[in-house]
Structure 1
Amino acid sequence: MKIRNAFVLGLLGGLGVLLAIAIGAAVQQIGTVLVWAFAGIFLALGLEPVIQFLIRRRVPRWAAVLLIFIVIVAALVGAGWLIVPTIIAQFSLLVQAIVQEVESGLLDSVLDWVRETFPAFDVDGTLDQLGGALTDFNTWSSLPPWMAEVVGSIVASIGQVAFAIGGGLIVVVLMLYFTGSLPAIKSGMYRLVPASSRPKFIEIAEQIMKSVGRFVLGQGALGLLNGTLSLIVLSIVGSELAGVYAFIALIASTIPLVGTITASVVISLLVLLLDGPQTALPVAIWYLVYMQLEAYVISPQVMNRAVKVPGVVVVLAALTGGTLLGILGALVAIPVAAAIQLILKEVVIPKQDLK
């Protein structure tokens, strides 16, 4: 159909632009849900090699999925049982220490020092305003701007932590759902491809999904290795929070490139603050040694066997993905790079050779 009227052509073009803007706004609004769904599919592909291993051992798929579900729930419950009581106990000790310091008169000494050093600062008035805000939420508007910003930042941080925990639970539920229905999802996706191109598409898609699964298992193995070794080392040096630190190391080590470094620095600083330099020194030395082993021995072996991507591509992909989508982007960037490399090798290059 040919459109000869310039007004109609401009109207249709404007409607197309408005429709594109509306679609973009809708995608932005549900962006968090899409990220959760993508993370669930990503983790489900990571569990697929384990399910196939069980199926090859004559375990029905439903039984394999149920077994994995039980293991995941047991791991989450075990982690909560290990970490939450420890955190509560340490927080109780912190509150008791603060109360003891207040009762000993340290707080009065600090306030006297502030009054003498900063005579223009109304300490008593500020404390009265803060106390009133804590007992009556209607008086929050009377707080000084800097204090209102601090309180608002604390409340926002608590909200973000709660949101992250809720998002993690949603991702786990989606992961289990996608794990159980993955064959049906793949079958429906393959039927959308024309029959003439379907065999090659299935071959490439299966190779990509296998690479994703091997990558997820590899990162999980790295996290489990770091967590286990951290638990052993921190228990030997006598840290009371060895279980909590080991869990932090396990979770952080699943993030490519920066996860292990970040966890090592954070754990070493926490041990220094809470246990003293005599405990922090061997912990820091251990993490320096482990980071070298992981960076030059363990991680390259995992990457070569999982996704078969050159090291420089791994680094660039992880940095790019982390910049665009944060932690999730860093996780999926390497499998995406492997998928692009596979498509280039199996589709683009053969077509170029035929020309």
Structure 2
Amino acid sequence: MRLGSQEKRGILLLIICLSVYFFYQVRAILFPFILAILLAYLINPLVEGLIDRGQPRIGALIFIFGLFITIFSFILITFFPAIIDELDALAHRLPDYAMKLEGLIDHINIKYQRIDLPDTITTILDKSINRLEENTLEFIQKTSGVLLGLLSRMFSLIMAPILAFYLLKDLEEIKEFLWSLLPKKRRKGIKVLLGRIDSSLFGFFKGQLLVSLLVAILSTIGLYLLNIKFYLIIGVIVGIFNIVPYFGPILGALPAVIIASFTSSKLVLMVVLLFFVIQQVEGGIIAPKIMGEEVGLHPIVIIFSLLAGGELLGIIGMLIAVPIAAIIKELLRYIIYEMLISVDNR
């Protein structure tokens, strides 16, 4: 018995729902696989470039992964012990910083209470100061928690390159298998869809990663010269948050500003000036030269995506919000296009 189009769509929808439910249930173990897919996606152009020059796939993979392992090992040996020491020191000093922050906020509170202000404005200021205190402490704890969480996921970080290697080794077979699952009449449209997603995402990932790396290096050097404590950790935080459009640079600079505020207002101004200069250099020189294809999203859509990602998954959600929004945009465009084509053909 042949199934009609309605039955096929119903079965497809059921399979999609079951798949979503399954992946939601096993979400705790998905991190290394998602990271592996991202690594494979970014490394594949290098592999294809060597293959085009006559290298066998396995030889190209061994060369590229060997090069990356060498670079990563050098970075790990050079910086990892210092970062661990800074994390340990930061964890011990967090209570002290919390007390200093409370004292600083109390000092601000006493200063504005000397001014004769209407009760309404005083109430608003009280609430704002209390919220600032709560949010700042929460931000410090969450930021250190994210870094410690990354360290605790070291097994996943080690597994991801291994999984990426096997993905790239058998990439052609995987492609053939996935294409065989698709109806022939849909393959052309899906190929166009994947091409659009690829052009949107690859330029974004490549550009953002390089820009964020350079911003992290500049921030670390600048904070070191200003003698800011935990400059290595803050440099890493700045680089990670720089991936987030609009809000990222502010969130990344906040820990440095808070720590500088415990020393002097002059140091706070110097830190703010440092990050202002870095952002001007990034926006005017680094980003235009490095950034490849744009994701093609309106700023309002990007801001909404960031807020939605932050609400759903916190900091990680903000980091992945823009690429996911770009994928959704292309999927919606494809679905609407297919619907219009089907209507025209009736």
With the length of structure 1 as denominator, give the TM-score of the two structures.
0.61
Relative to 1, partners in 2 of residues 1:328 and 1:174: Cα closer, same or farther, differing over 3 Å?
A: farther
Contact 1:308/1:338, CA 8 A, preserved across alignment:
yes
User: What does 1:1-355 align with in structure 2 at a 5 Å threshold?
Assistant: 27-87=23-83, 160=149, 163-239=152-228, 241-273=230-262, 279-291=267-279, 305-346=293-334, 348-349=336-337, 351-352=339-340, 355=344
Contact 1:45/1:209, CA 8 A, preserved across alignment:
no
By how many angstroms is 1:226 displaced?
0.6
By how many angstroms is 1:195 displaced?
1.6
Contact 1:86/1:241, CA 8 A, preserved across alignment:
no
Counterpart of 1:195 in structure 2: which amino acid? K
Counterpart of 1:237 in structure 2: which amino acid? L
RMSD: 4.3
Contact 1:318/1:329, CA 8 A, preserved across alignment:
yes
Distance (whole Å) between structure 2 residues aligned to residue 260 and residue 54 of structure 1 = 36
Distance (whole Å) between structure 2 residues aligned to residue 285 and residue 161 of structure 1 = 30
Distance (whole Å) between structure 2 residues aligned to residue 91 and residue 297 of structure 1 = 32
Distance (whole Å) between structure 1 residues aligned to residue 239 and residue 155 of structure 2 = 20
| 1:269-319 deviation line (CA, Å, top 9, x unaligned) | 33555x766555322211134346657886689778232222222222233
Q: Which residue of 1 aligns with 2:9?
A: none
Distance (whole Å) between structure 1 residues aligned to residue 40 and residue 323 of structure 2 = 14
Contact 2:216/2:239, CA 8 A, preserved across alignment:
yes
Distance (whole Å) between structure 2 residues aligned to residue 296 and residue 54 of structure 1 = 33
Q: How many residues align?
A: 279
Contact 2:203/2:291, CA 8 A, preserved across alignment:
no
Contact 1:37/1:174, CA 8 A, preserved across alignment:
yes
By how many angstroms is 1:206 displaced?
3.2
By how many angstroms is 1:217 displaced?
0.9
By how many angstroms is 1:57 displaced?
4.9
Q: Which residue of 2 aligns with 1:130?
A: none
Distance (whole Å) between structure 2 residues aligned to residue 298 and residue 282 of structure 1 = 22
Question: Tell me, what secondary structure is at the counterpart of 2:30?
Answer: helix
Contact 2:200/2:293, CA 8 A, preserved across alignment:
no
Question: Tell me, what secondary structure is at the counterpart of 1:39?
Answer: helix
Relative to 1, partners in 2 of residues 1:262 and 1:218: Cα closer, same or farther, differing over 3 Å?
A: same
Contact 2:61/2:169, CA 8 A, preserved across alignment:
yes
Distance (whole Å) between structure 2 residues aligned to residue 50 and residue 264 of structure 1 = 34
By how many angstroms is 1:220 displaced?
0.5
With the length of structure 2 as denominator, give the TM-score of the two structures.
0.63
Question: Tell me, what secondary structure is at the counterpart of 1:196?
Answer: helix
By how many angstroms is 1:246 displaced?
2.8
Contact 1:49/1:213, CA 8 A, preserved across alignment:
no
Distance (whole Å) between structure 2 residues aligned to residue 226 and residue 169 of structure 1 = 25
Relative to 1, partners in 2 of residues 1:336 and 1:251: Cα closer, same or farther, differing over 3 Å?
A: closer
Contact 1:51/1:65, CA 8 A, preserved across alignment:
yes
| 1:154-180 deviation line (CA, Å, top 9, x unaligned) | xxx798565333333333433343343
Contact 1:83/1:244, CA 8 A, preserved across alignment:
no
By how many angstroms is 1:192 displaced?
0.7
Taking every aligned residue pair, what percent have the same amino acid on both sides?
A: 25
Q: Which runs of 5+ in 1 are unaligned?
A: 2-19, 98-152
Relative to 1, partners in 2 of residues 1:327 and 1:169: Cα closer, same or farther, differing over 3 Å?
A: farther
Distance (whole Å) between structure 2 residues aligned to residue 76 and residue 199 of structure 1 = 40
Contact 1:39/1:328, CA 8 A, preserved across alignment:
no
By how many angstroms is 1:71 displaced?
3.8
Distance (whole Å) between structure 1 residues aligned to residue 337 and residue 88 of structure 2 = 63
By how many angstroms is 1:264 displaced?
1.1
Question: Tell me, what secondary structure is at the counterpart of 1:175?
Answer: helix
Q: Which runs of 5+ in 2 are unaligned?
A: 2-15, 94-140
Contact 1:261/1:291, CA 8 A, preserved across alignment:
no
Contact 2:39/2:164, CA 8 A, preserved across alignment:
yes
